[in-house]
């Protein structure tokens, strides 16, 4: 009885009964408000290869329109969305079709969404549950090959949620398997997609150096010139200047795998210098993706990780052009060339010799060159810990004084090696000439081979076959024209740079090397070669100004570890900044009270070694007279002629009297009168005396304005604060 009952139960579950039950369930869920809206068929395949090769899967998805017709939708009310062909379903970011589907459901235009399976709609729980929420909100049904689902019902929503979870888990499992397989192959050093310039893939899948000698010479030239120039951009300019091409083997196209000599670009040079393959090391995981950058919409979500974060690194796995130590030196030099606060930066032409290697002794920070005025006068400025501390600057020093000191020390260091420099310079120039001309000769030989081959093909063709003959003739003419053009360029190149050094050139090199100071001063301002020499010899220069005086302590740390200390004298703005100012003032007072003239006082000060605020300046009778006037030791001159005579109103001053009272330089106060920064009037006549109005408040403002000075940094881009620059209104004269 039990067996008979089970057979009858199995007989009741026939395919016809199952389809009838599914049809009844669909009829129960389908309502009129569903049929009044659109039925959307969503078609998607994950990759372009699937679109091209998996035609049956696409046919099954497009056949879902018939399923919609069976449910009761007319053909003109069925919308097919297939814009996402070749797009992965792991995100809705670049899927315009899925975004259109979401928009249509949100507008209450859709009654049914059909897909061959739920993984076609989304493989992300975020996108999948967003679609479910919208479908439940707008009472939209979902359907696949297995049945019809209503997201407003608990059982269907639970089933759809589980299907979304399984879809995302399936994608994660597949990606994890593929990644582990690739990582396992990479750990053996066998996962190689493309080989860089200068390498080829053998028929057995191994990586080998390109057998062409011209290819090897070009790659070696790149690393050798970078070691000499020290900058990727300088290397690129060198290659462009000598018209040196790079051997590119295209990955796609009709010339796939064939050498194509192309003009170098900056990205190619950087990739060559950063690629550890040239050092014989296999690396995997050099480039990684930061999901935080991708989430914030940054363009550079993919970045190059540090060597410690690489997944796989196997030394001596591949044939090498350079050593691993040289590769690390190149990478560190590229990092140091970056214009960052913690890097010295690349050497460039410019007025500042010590840019990148000069440091402040007070806060141990790098000082930066600051250019000022039309003549671009340079000063080294230490910003300190601005803006966190609120202190605008730590030290400021004119570049001229410290650069001259360093130049003298560098020249004295390299002068004993002048003969060796002469011989080495001659060898380097000869080697560079040979390399450049070898590149040109290689290009000329290639052009000649192509023209000869084209000529042989044209001569071997049957003249009766005119179509083929005309085509080969045109190719022969093109190769001949290219060869002539290249020969003309080579002739122009030889006029600028001969193929070998003449005896006069060798003698000139020897003379310049023997006279190193003359060779150094050949170019002004400092060139990149000057700065490169300084960086080869000096690690850093540390400076400290003795208070606010003219004395500067300089410590030079040479590359070998030796430190030398020096003291230099800089120019300052005022006499009171001088270190021996009090002794100078006392000496001038003594000589003036003893009846000495200003000329005699100036001569005495120069003999005793007293200097002016300007470094190396000598005292004259004019500077002594200026000092005596500012200290109030002389009587101010008055107008003597009746034409120039004037009566002073209350709080009015002769300009010299006011300058002595406020200890302000007379020329500075006269300049303020001309600019309108003080209330002043000028008398007629030949000497045009100034009369300045200033009460007590105005005198305080003028003194503060003078003490502020014109130093850097300036407030709001102006030499003086705005609240001190303009005078208050003058009261009317009674």
The 10 Å Cβ neighbour count of residue 711 is: 10
Cα distances from 216 to residues 251, 279, 331, in angstroms, run: 20, 14, 21
Give bridge partners of residue 196 from the DSSP assignment. none
Distances (CA, A) of 730 to 79, 142, 422, 652, 692: 84, 87, 73, 11, 11
Using CA atoms, how far apart are residues 505 and 85, in angstroms rounded to an integer? 67
Half-sphere exposure of 682 (CA within 13 A, CB side): 12
Place of tokens 């005078």: 727
For residue 508 the two structure tokens come to 């000139």
3-class SS string, 666-717: HHHHHHHHHHCCCEEEECCCCCCCEEEECCHHHHHHHHHHHHHCCCCCCECC
Q: How many Å apart are CA 94 and CA 106, to the nearest integer? A: 19
Backbone angles phi, psi at 348, to 5 degrees: -140, 160
Q: Which of 132, 149, 119, 148 is closest to 44 using CA atoms?
A: 119
DSSP string, 516-540: HHHHHTTSSS--HHHHHHHHHHEEE
Torsion of CA 237, 239, 245, 247, to 10 degrees: -100
How many Cβ atoms from other residues are within 10 Å of residue 136's Cβ?
16
Cα–Cα distance list, 67 to 105, 148, 371 (Å): 20, 11, 76
Is residue 248 within 8 A of residue 259, CB to CB? The reply is yes
Cβ neighbours of residue 596 closer than 8 Å, sequence gap 6 or more? 604
285-297: buried (b, 16+ CB within 10 Å) or exposed (e) per residue? ebeeeeeeeeeee
**Distances in Å between the alpha carbon of 229 and those of 71, 197, 353, 528?**
75, 21, 17, 9
**Residue whose entry in the numeric block shows the structure tokens 């869920």:** 29
Provide the 3-class DSSP secondary structure of residue 209.
strand
Label residues 606-643 b or e (16+ Cβ within 10 Å = b). eeeebbbbeeeeebbeebbebbbbbeeeeeeeeeeeee
Which listed residue (8, 19, 46, 124) is catalytic? 46
Catalytic residue check, 718: no
Whether the CB-CB separation of 187 and 165 falls below 8 Å is answered with no
Measured distance CA(258)–CA(210) in Å, rounded: 12
Strand segments, DSSP code E, in 356-476 are: 358-360, 368-372, 377-382, 395-398
* Other residues' Cβ atoms within 10 Å of the Cβ of residue 703: 14
For the annotated catalytic residues, the residue numbers are 46
């Amino acid at each position: 009885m039990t067996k008979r009952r089970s057979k009858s139960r199995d007989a009741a579950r026939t395919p016809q009964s199952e389809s009838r039950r599914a049809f009844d369930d669909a009829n129960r869920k389908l309502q009129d408000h569903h049929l009044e809206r659109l039925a959307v068929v969503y078609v998607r395949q994950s990759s372009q290869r699937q679109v091209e090769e998996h035609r049956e899967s696409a046919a099954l998805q497009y056949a879902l329109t018939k399923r919609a017709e069976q449910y009761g939708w007319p053909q003109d009310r069925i919308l097919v969305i297939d814009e996402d062909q070749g797009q992965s379903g792991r995100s809705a970011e670049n899927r315009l079709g899925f975004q259109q589907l979401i928009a249509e459901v949100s507008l209450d235009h859709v009654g049914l969404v059909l897909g061959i399976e739920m993984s076609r709609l989304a493989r992300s729980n975020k996108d999948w549950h967003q679609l479910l929420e919208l479908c439940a909100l707008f009472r939209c049904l979902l359907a696949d090959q297995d049945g019809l689902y209503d997201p407003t019902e608990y059982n269907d929503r639970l089933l759809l949620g589980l299907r979304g979870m399984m879809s995302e888990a399936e994608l994660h499992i597949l990606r994890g398997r593929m990644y582990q397989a690739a990582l396992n192959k990479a750990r053996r050093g066998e996962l190689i997609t493309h080989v860089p310039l200068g390498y080829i893939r053998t028929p057995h899948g191994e990586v080998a150096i390109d057998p062409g000698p011209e290819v090897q010479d070009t790659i070696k030239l790149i690393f050798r010139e970078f070691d000499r120039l020290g900058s990727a951009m300088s290397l690129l300019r060198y290659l462009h200047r000598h018209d040196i091409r790079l051997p590119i083997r295209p990955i796609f196209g009709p010339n796939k795998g064939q050498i194509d000599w192309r003009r170098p670009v900056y990205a190619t040079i950087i990739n060559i210098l950063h690629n550890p393959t040239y050092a014989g090391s296999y690396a995997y995981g050099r480039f990684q993706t930061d999901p935080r950058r991708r989430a914030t919409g940054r363009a550079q979500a993919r970045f190059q990780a540090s060597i410690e974060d690489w997944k796989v690194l196997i030394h001596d796995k591949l044939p090498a052009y350079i050593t691993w130590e040289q590769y690390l030196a190149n990478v560190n030099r590229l990092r140091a060339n970056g214009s960052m606060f913690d890097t010295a930066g690349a050497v460039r032409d410019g007025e500042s010799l010590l840019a990148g290697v000069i440091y402040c002794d007070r806060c141990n920070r790098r000082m930066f060159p600051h250019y000022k005025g039309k003549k671009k006068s340079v000063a080294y400025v230490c910003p300190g810990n601005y803006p966190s501390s609120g202190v605008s600057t730590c030290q400021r020093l004119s570049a001229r004084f410290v650069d001259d000191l360093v130049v003298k020390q560098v020249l004295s260091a390299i002068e004993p090696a002048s003969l060796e420099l002469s011989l080495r310079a001659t060898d380097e120039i000869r080697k560079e000439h040979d390399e450049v001309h070898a590149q040109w000769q290689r290009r000329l030989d290639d052009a000649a081979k192509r023209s000869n081959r084209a000529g042989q093909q044209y001569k071997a063709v049957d003249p009766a076959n005119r179509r083929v003959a005309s085509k080969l003739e045109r190719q022969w003419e093109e190769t001949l024209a290219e060869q002539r053009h290249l020969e003309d360029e080579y002739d122009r190149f030889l006029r600028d740079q001969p193929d070998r050094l003449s005896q006069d050139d060798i003698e000139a090199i020897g003379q310049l090397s023997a006279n190193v100071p003359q060779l150094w001063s050949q170019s002004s301002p400092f060139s990149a070669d000057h700065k490169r020499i300084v960086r080869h010899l000096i690690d850093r220069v540390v400076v400290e100004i003795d208070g606010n005086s003219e004395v500067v302590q300089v410590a030079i740390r040479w590359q070998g570890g030796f430190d030398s200390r020096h003291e230099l004298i800089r120019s300052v703005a005022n006499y009171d900044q001088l270190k021996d100012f009090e002794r100078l003032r006392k000496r001038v007072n003594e000589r003036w009270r003893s009846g000495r003239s200003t000329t005699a006082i100036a001569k005495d000060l120069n003999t005793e070694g007293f200097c002016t605020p300007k470094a190396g300046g000598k005292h004259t009778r004019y500077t002594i007279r200026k000092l005596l006037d500012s200290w109030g030791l002389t009587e101010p001159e008055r107008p003597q002629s009746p034409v120039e005579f004037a009566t002073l109103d209350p709080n009015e001053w002769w300009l010299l009297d006011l300058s002595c009272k406020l200890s302000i330089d007379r020329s500075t106060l006269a300049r303020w009168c001309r600019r309108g920064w003080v209330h002043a009037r000028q008398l007629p006549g030949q000497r045009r005396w100034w009369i300045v109005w200033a009460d007590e408040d105005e005198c305080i403002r003028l003194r503060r304005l003078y003490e502020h000075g014109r130093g850097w940094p300036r407030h709001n881009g102006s030499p003086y604060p705005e609240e001190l620059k303009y005078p208050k209104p003058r009261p009317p004269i009674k």
